[in-house]
Structure 1
């Protein structure tokens, strides 16, 4: 099982292939996902400091382009964990004061 390390929060094991946004939420990281995991709001973005995911999806490219976001970030609702990674969530419930949003689908 892959390990996800969240900077400042610790490390936890997740099922291979699990969506990163759900892995974070299931392990106590209150990441935002205001659009419900549809890749439109970009509130679930993370900075990946170690490990690899597949190339940016077209959904991510379009969302980042529309919002002018750096491409060194990823949308946690659009990627699956297939190996060990280290990430830093950009927006959380605690840092934003917003509620997380509807739970993304598996």
Structure 2
């Protein structure tokens, strides 16, 4: 099983193929996902510090372009964990004061 390391918080194993946003949430990271994982709000974005995910999806490119967000980030609702990775969540309950939002679908 792949390991997800969250910068400053620790490492945990996740089932291969699991959405990163759900892996984070299920392991105590209060990452935002205000739109419920539909790639509309961009609040679930993460910086990938180590490891590899596929290239940005067209959905991510469009969302980032519309919101003026740097393209080196990824939307955790749009990627699946298939190998070890280290990420830094950009927006969390703790640093934003917002509620997480509806749980994204598997």
State whether TM-score is above 0.5. yes
Using the size of structure 2 for normalisation, the TM-score is 0.99
After TM superposition, what 4+ stretches of structure 1 lie above 2 angstroms from structure 2? none
| Helix, strand or coil at the partner of 2:31 | coil
Q: C-alpha offsets along residues 43-90 of structure 1, whole Å, 9 cap, x if unaligned?
A: 000000100001101110000000010011000000000000000000
Quote how far apart the aligned CAs of 1:10 are: 0.2
Structure 2 runs not aligned, ≥5 long: none
Q: How many pairs are equivalent? A: 106
Where do 1:1-106 residues align within 5 Å?
1-106=1-106
Greater fraction of residues in strand: 2
Alpha-carbon distance in 2 for matches of 1:4, 1:13 = 6
Report the TM-score, using the length of structure 1 for normalisation.
Answer: 0.99
Name the Cα RMSD after superposition.
Answer: 0.3
Partner secondary structure for residue 91 of structure 1: coil
